Amino acid sequence: QVQLVESGGGLVQAGGSLRLSCAASGRTFTTYAMGWHRQAPGKERDFVAAISWNGDISYYADSVKGRFTISRDNAKNTVYLQMHNLKPEDTAVYYCAADRRHSDDSNLWDYWGQGTQVTVAS
């Protein structure tokens, strides 16, 4: 089992940048793929980005391609989401997730953090 704690959210102007972090507990971090997902008010939770256990594979939702970058530091048990050129439609609660397998289906991820709010002002 793994426990996840996100940080780094906040309020930013459109066009700005933020970096989210997700710290994982446990000694088995390297056995998990990691992902970021988000949920806007009144909407379902959507996939944002995922990365394989060793970082060799990463992929993104079309809406964030070219603006967001997912990375991980296995020595620090941490995964990051670097976000550039933020838009008001990126406003959401962002969740970190872990699973043995990566997927672009949010429903298939097993472990979740508590979320961090990202608000992009126009």
pLDDT tens per residue across span 56-81: 999 999 999 999 999 999 999 999 99
Q: What is the mean pLDDT of residues 110-116?
A: 97
Token pair of 72 as six digits: 């991980």
pLDDT of residue 98: 96
Ramachandran angles phi, psi of 108, nearest 5° = -95, 0
Banded pLDDT at 1 (limits 50, 70, 90)? confident
pLDDT by residue (tens digit) across 10-20?
A: 999 999 999 99
DSSP codes joined into one string, the chain: ---EEEE--EEEETT--EEEEEEE-SS-GGGSEEEEEEE-TTS-EEEEEEE-TTSS-EEE-TTTTTTEEEEEETTTTEEEEEE-S--GGG-EEEEEEEESS--S-GGG--EE---EEEEEE-
